Homo-oligomer: A and B are copies of this chain.
Amino acid sequence: MVEIYVLRLGHRPGRDKRVTTHVGLVARSFGANGIVIGDVVDESVARSLRKVVDLWGGPFEVIMGVNSVEYVKKWKSRGIVVHLTMYGLHVDNVIDEIRGSGKDLLVVVGAEKVPRIFYELADYNVAIGHQPHSEVAALAVFLDRYYKGEELHRKFSGAKLTVVPTPRGKKVLRI
List A residues at the B interface (Cβ < 8 Å). 15-16, 18-19, 22, 25-26, 28-30, 52, 56, 85-92, 116, 119-120, 122, 124-125, 127-134, 136-137, 139-141, 144, 149, 151-153, 156, 162-163, 165-172
Contact = CB atoms under 8 A, between A and B. Distances in A.
Given A125-B167, A128-B152, A25 B134 contact: yes
Contacts of A171: 87
A91 to B, nearest CB: 7
A90 B167 CA distance: 10
Contact of A165 (B122, B130, B151): B130
Contacts of A169: 87, 116, 119
22 contacts: A15-B18, A26-B134, A29-B132, A30-B133, A30-B137, A85-B170, A87-B163, A87-B166, A88-B165, A88-B166, A88-B167, A119-B168, A119-B169, A125-B168, A127-B165, A129-B151, A130-B163, A130-B165, A136-B140, A137-B139, A137-B140, A140-B141
